[in-house]
Structure 1
Amino acid sequence: MQTSTQHQPEFFLSEEGLKVAYKHWKAVNLPKAILVFAHGFNSHSGYFQWPAQQLTAQNFEVYAIDFPGRGNSDGERYYIADYQQFVNELDKLVDLAQSTHPGLPTFLLGHSAGGVLSSIYVLEHQDKLNGFVCESFAFQVPAPDFAVAVLKGLSHLFPHAHVLRLNNEDFSRDQAVVEFMNADPLIANEVQPTKTVQQLSLADERLKTDMSAIHLPLLILHGTADKATKPSGSQYFYDHASSVDKTLKLYEGHYHDLLNDLDKEIVMGDILAWLTEKVS
């Protein structure tokens, strides 16, 4: 596990005047494409340090956002008032990357809840992308439907009440990664507010309705032992997206954060092979 302090954040301003942090790792030689990372819960841009090193070595320009209220970004911690705001901030980062490297093919990788937000982004901006990698999609979660419904209801009465905690131990089988997460001040005591749960549920509902409109090349990845999200959600995405070029890979026994889990090299190899095929 690479520490998040090894690569310093940069910032742009949101429409609300908040400082939104991101990281940029430069290609070792002449860049051939751009990859933008979007993180999920219990995470931030620093968790893409190792994947970024693998990608930049293969001459990809790599960017990773800290969504508002997370990582080094401004905003109420872990609070999503409107998921569309987060999609808009992701769009700003894609625009920034493309203006810095005009003409390069651009790919997006969204992890978990970041995969949900990225999927909404794909619905709205397919013309800006050459492909989408969806990792550990938080389209279906282990919580019972009635519990999610209760949390959505509470979001109207107590929007800022912190109610949903994910276990760091469920993210990786690598004990060093879990220890890093447990000591990381940027995700310390991370508990999701009811409003955040409601907004992700609304995004999921929109995807269920509109998923067939996605036609980009897709690489969908999930671990079969993921306790935070269900592999069946990734299967649903694969089955319902209209993309002709789509691949689903299920990794037997892998946990939630595939790029910080044991055997992450296998997953990274699959991502690099897919990306390289798309830009060659």
Structure 2
Amino acid sequence: MAQNIVGGIKYEEEFILNSRGLKLFTCKWVPVNQEPKALIFICHGYAMECSISMKDTGIRLAKAGFAVHGIDYEGHGKSAGLHGYIPSFNDLVEDCSNHFTSICERKENKRKQRFLLGESMGGAVVLILHRKKPNYWDGAVLVAPMCKIADDMKPPAVVVNLLTFLCKVIPTWKIIPTQDIIDIAIKEPQRREEVRSNAYCYKGKPRLKTGNELLKVSLDIEQNLQQVNLPFMIVHGGDDKVTDPAISKLLFESASSTDKTFKLYSGMWHALTSGEPLENINIVFSDIIDWLDERAAFGNSRLEREQKGEYDTFPVIQQEKKTILKPGLTAGYL
């Protein structure tokens, strides 16, 4: 296990084996001089990774007092697997669920709140993680989530049908026609070059099976937005050309959660936490950290329900059928 301490933040890296025998890269940022307020599990976007492209996110949240844990998906970053290849989105989510749950269930973490943070495709990962365990997570931050592939990014229907057939025959081929996402996702030219020079970021065309998996999961999420019932915050750029801010607004309106917030930032692009001018990034993180701090300050209502369940199962079942809005927390739209 590699680790270092800089500026009061301890950073650690470790490789783990998933259920399919693949070696996956994991990392974490934790504050050194205080007990973490809560746990945050970050889910990176398609073709990206955690330790470099989400380093600033990890450091900012750790400096705010949170323990931040990340994992590179199969075929992404420093993890094993064919680069840029997602043979099964369900397996990808299962890997995240197993790793994140193993951290939550450690003795020192059992009483801590658990928050998810997903960017772009990572937002889809977060929503599926929530669906797998509806009462396990205490909240989620969705950064330009992939609830639907933007219409101008999606191939025509005839092409989709052809690719769906071909992915059964040549699943790893890189022939899906798409725009250069880096050019339309990242506003700052210097940041674009950093991503292009990052060998752990996949920059080829989407592989056939990968594209098919992303299309299927985006359609699935779009059709089940009402199933989202945990506290969540969505942040989305008004000029995002990769994921559709209108679908984020639809998620906000359709979700059954009573504690939900949607912030739309006029003029910002897709990469809100890394690809904007610094003053914009600071605004986004200020809003995210304020939201997390508010909920962390109210204590662990999930833990209270779980402890009551140890003595009396029936009242907990009744309680979980409704969402209770804590005093002072309201649904908001900006």
Task: Say whether 1:13 aligns with 2:25.
Answer: no
Normalising by structure 1, we get a TM-score of: 0.92
Misfit runs of 4+, over 6 Å: none
Distance apart, 1:253 and its partner CA: 1.2
Tell me, in whole angstroms, the C-alpha distance in 1 between the residues paired with 2:193 and 2:117: 25
In 2, Cα distance between the equivalents of 1:148 and 1:25? 40
| Cross-structure match for 2:203 | 189
Asked if 1:107 corresponds to 2:115, the answer is yes
The worse-fitting range, judged by mean Cα deviation, of 122-131 and 62-71 is: 122-131
Tell me how far apart the structure 1 counterparts of residues 167 and 252 of structure 2 sit (CA, whole Å): 31
Task: For 2:254 and 2:160, locate their aligned partners in 1 and report how far apart those are by CA, in whole Å.
Answer: 23
Decide which of 228, 231, 239 is 1:217's aligned counterpart: 231
Q: Which residue of 1 aligns with 2:68?
A: 62
Structure 2 CA distance for partners of 1:105 and 1:193, relative to 1, 3 Å: same
User: Is 2:129 the counterpart of 1:121?
Assistant: yes
2:164 is aligned with 1:152: yes
Match of 2:283 in 1: 266
Describe the superposition over 1:51-103 as per-residue Cα deviations: whole angstroms up to 9, x where unpaired.
Answer: 21111112100011100000000011111111110110110221132134221
| Alignment-mate amino acid for residue 264 of structure 1 | I
TM-score calculated relative to the size of structure 2 = 0.78
Between the aligned partners of 1:184 and 1:208, the Cα distance in structure 2 is 32
Q: Distance in 2 between matches of 1:61 and 1:119?
A: 21
Q: Distance in 2 between matches of 1:188 and 1:42?
A: 5
1:3 corresponds to: none
Between the aligned partners of 1:8 and 1:169, the Cα distance in structure 2 is 32
Higher helix share: 1
Larger Rg: 2
SS in 1 for 2:98: helix
- Mapped contact 2:41–2:115 kept (Cα < 8 A): yes
User: Hey, what does 1:26 align to over in structure 2?
Assistant: 30
Please, which runs of 5 or more residues in structure 2 have no aligned partner?
A: 1-5, 298-334
Q: Which string of whole-angstrom CA distances, capped at 9 and with x for unpartnered residues, describes residues 152-178 of structure 1?
A: 343223211113454312222222211
8 A contact 2:12–2:29 mirrored in 1: no
Q: How many residues are aligned here?
A: 275
**Alpha carbons 1:116, 1:200 under 8 Å: kept:** no
Q: CA deviation at 1:22?
A: 1.4
- Counterpart AA for 1:273: D
User: In structure 2, the residue corresponding to 1:47 is in which secondary structure?
Assistant: coil
Give the distance between the partners of 1:103 and 1:279, measured in 2 at CA.
12
**What's the offset of the Cα at 1:132?**
1.0
Percent identity between the aligned chains?
26
Residue 144 of structure 2 is aligned to residue 136 of structure 1: yes
CA distance in 2 between counterparts of 1:97 and 1:252 reads: 37
